[in-house]
Amino acid sequence: MSTVKFYQATEQVPLEMHKVRVVQKLFLPPVEERVKHMNEAGNNTFLLQNKDVYMDMLTDSGVNAMSDNQVAAMMQADDSYAGSETCNRLVKVIREVFGTEYFLPAHQGRACENILAEAFVKPGDVVPMNFHFTTTKAHITRLGGSVVELVRPVGLEPKNNEPFKGNFDIDALKQVIRETGAEHIPFVRIEAGTNLIGGQPLSLENMLEVAAVCKQNGIMTVLDASLLQDNLYFIKTREEACKHMTIREITRTLCDQMDLIYFSSRKLGFARGGGIVSNNEKLILKMKEFIPLYEGFLTYGGMEVRSMEAIAVGLLETMDEEIIGQGPQFIEYLVKELDAYGVPMIMPAGGLGAHINATEFLQGMPHGEYPAGALAAALYIAGGIRGMERGTLSEQRDPDGTEHYAELELVRLACPRRVFTLSQMKYCADRVKWLYDNRQLIGGLKWVEEPAVLRFFFGRLAPIGDWQERLAAKFRQDFGDSL
């Protein structure tokens, strides 16, 4: 993908190595209606109706475009309960890609996390990880465990251009093991790349170092491979020592050192579903009984068989650098456009999507007025673009009820793979730039309904004051009768 040069390019333009053959019509409601829809949705982009959204950049989970070969494979699904050929085909691909003998199917990533936590986490346990993900932390704390984040400080510096900002602080890991005691650490979790800190990747070297430290201390290493496809691309393109390796070689070198690997196939493999894989039969046996209990029989684990066929093809396609390059390259295009304009972005461009630093975008807004939530609401009003708050609203309150402020207040503009065209990315950049120039109009949010668990999914908020009407009026003034 990156090898195609333009004769007249003034900028690096990502060129798609695919063509679009199935499309979905989109609608863009007028700005006044967008204000209305945002409020009906409690200023929570999770609660917007998709018919009212022009660019759905909420997530890249389960919404990536599938290939012709994936769709074709879905037609041959064998949905027999036991001994299913579909399951056999998927296991064969998993052995080939990850090099792992055993596979436990689960309906999605958080289902794997539930099973991992049930099998291994006890009250008082500590699970070190480079950074938490919302559902991961919820499952560990639900069982009385806690999470320690060991990303290096540089990982939380929005403008630092280091290539592998998701890396572990290895010395900090050793210290946590010394202080906690290996017996209270059921596993160390590697999230490659990191969801909540801007899709920043880890180097192969760092992940292997983590595994080596774990081995020395008799601790299990668990890889969350949900975001692995972008991370593989970054290892290949950014890590000097890996430039000569194929994506397959990088994958196997990494996976050979992991005790357990789990993934959400809503991301990895451009499909829907998930699973846990390993070469360690003993570990698998500790989790196996939970699959029929929570998920479904061992041949499908709650997944639809057609999805399993799509995962099998999608995992093989993930080994193709040209295929997995599309996401990072489109994200980089958007991030560079916005950064050049002065919009505070998480740098360098990572995986998953473009991430706006809301703290800096809305300088002066009190933390307690939820700048990232406010910016996500404003962006929907400005352009019918649905991003996701990844800041304080996505955190849980402390047990005593005090607000737990996030280290980074981000608005994530996820880039589902092969879904948007470059003109749509340009439109997105244009509306963010307009909003940046009008940022003094954006006000804060306050809670109306706050659920106790994973509040960002269902919580409802209201704008403080009439800033949304004033933002819409300024839009009319600047854009005339444009949608």
User: Which amino acids are annotated catalytic?
Assistant: 81, 133-134, 224, 267, 390, 456
| 135 lies in the binding site for ligand F0G (CB under 6 A) | yes
Cα three-residue angle 211-213-219, rounded to 5 degrees:
75
Report in angstroms how near the CB of residue 468 gets to ligand F0G at its nearest.
25
**Within positions 45 to 64, which residues make up the interface with ligand F0G, using CB under 6 A?**
59, 61
Options 43, 130, 206, 264; binder of ligand F0G; rule CB under 6 A: 264
| 392 lies in the binding site for ligand F0G (CB under 6 A) | no
**Within positions 61 to 100, which residues make up the interface with ligand F0G, using CB under 6 A?**
61
**Within positions 186 to 205, which residues make up the interface with ligand F0G, using CB under 6 A?**
191, 195
Location of structure tokens 């980089």:
332
Report in angstroms how near the CB of residue 200 gets to ligand F0G at its nearest.
12
In the complex, residue closest to ligand F0G by CB? 109
Report in angstroms how near the CB of residue 227 gets to ligand F0G at its nearest.
5
- Residue 45 or residue 195: which is nearer to ligand F0G going by CB? 195
Options 137, 139, 236, 266; binder of ligand F0G; rule CB under 6 A: 266
Cα dihedral across residues 434, 436, 438, 441: positive or negative = positive
| 395 lies in the binding site for ligand F0G (CB under 6 A) | no
Please tell me the count of residues contacting ligand F0G according to CB under 6 A: 15
Options 64, 86, 100, 108; binder of ligand F0G; rule CB under 6 A: 108
Report in angstroms how near the CB of residue 422 gets to ligand F0G at its nearest.
23
Report in angstroms how near the CB of residue 110 gets to ligand F0G at its nearest.
3
**Within positions 279 to 318, which residues make up the interface with ligand F0G, using CB under 6 A?**
none
| 110 lies in the binding site for ligand F0G (CB under 6 A) | yes
What is the spatial distance between Cα 285 and Cα 3, in angstroms, rounded to a whole number?
46
Report in angstroms how near the CB of residue 116 gets to ligand F0G at its nearest.
11
Partners of residue 414 on adjacent β-strands: 353
- Residue 347 or residue 415: which is nearer to ligand F0G going by CB? 415
- Residue 109 or residue 344: which is nearer to ligand F0G going by CB? 109
Residues 6+ apart with CB under 8 A from 477: none
User: 10 Å Cβ neighbour count for 360?
Assistant: 14
Pairing of strands 445-449, 460-463: antiparallel
- Residue 61 or residue 253: which is nearer to ligand F0G going by CB? 61
- Residue 56 or residue 224: which is nearer to ligand F0G going by CB? 224
Question: Interface with ligand F0G by CB under 6 A: which range of 105-113, 250-258, 333-341, 461-469?
Answer: 105-113
**Within positions 221 to 240, which residues make up the interface with ligand F0G, using CB under 6 A?**
224, 226-227
Q: By the 8 A CB rule, do 345 and 22 touch?
A: no
Question: Interface with ligand F0G by CB under 6 A: which range of 182-190, 219-227, 252-260, 399-407?
Answer: 219-227
First-last CA distance in the chain:
33
- Residue 274 or residue 444: which is nearer to ligand F0G going by CB? 274
| 109 lies in the binding site for ligand F0G (CB under 6 A) | yes
Report in angstroms how near the CB of residue 73 gets to ligand F0G at its nearest.
20
- Residue 221 or residue 264: which is nearer to ligand F0G going by CB? 264
- Residue 30 or residue 302: which is nearer to ligand F0G going by CB? 302
Report in angstroms how near the CB of residue 63 gets to ligand F0G at its nearest.
9
- Residue 264 or residue 326: which is nearer to ligand F0G going by CB? 264
Report in angstroms how near the CB of residue 413 gets to ligand F0G at its nearest.
12
| 274 lies in the binding site for ligand F0G (CB under 6 A) | yes
Residue 439: both structure tokens together: 């940022």
Cα three-residue angle 8-236-201, rounded to 5 degrees:
105
| 105 lies in the binding site for ligand F0G (CB under 6 A) | no
Contacts to ligand F0G by CB under 6 A: 59, 61, 108-110, 133, 135, 191, 195, 224, 226-227, 264, 266, 274
